[in-house]
Structure 1
Amino acid sequence: MEKSKVLVVGGTGYIGKRLVKVSFDEGQETYILHIHRPENKYDIDKVQMLLSFKEHGTHLVPGSFSDHQSLVNAVKLVDVVICAIAGVHVRSHQILLQLKLVDAIKDAGNVKRFLPSEFGTDPARMENALEPGRITFDDKMVVRKAIEEARIPFTYISANCFAGYFLGGLCEPCKILPSRDSVTLLGDGNKKGIRNLCR
Structure 2
Amino acid sequence: MSLDVNRRNFLKLIFTTTSAAAVSGLLPHWPAEALSRPIMEPVEFTDDGYGYLIDPTMEYYDTAFPTFREWLGLEGLTPRQLKKQLKREERRFEHLISDSGDWDMTEIQAWLDSDLEPEDMGLLEGMSYTPYGPPIEFYEQISPEDSYSIGLTLVEGDHPGSSFAGVQLFNTPRDTNRELQRLGINVVVREG
Taking structure 1 as the reference length, the TM-score comes to: 0.21
Larger Rg: 2
Taking structure 2 as the reference length, the TM-score comes to: 0.22
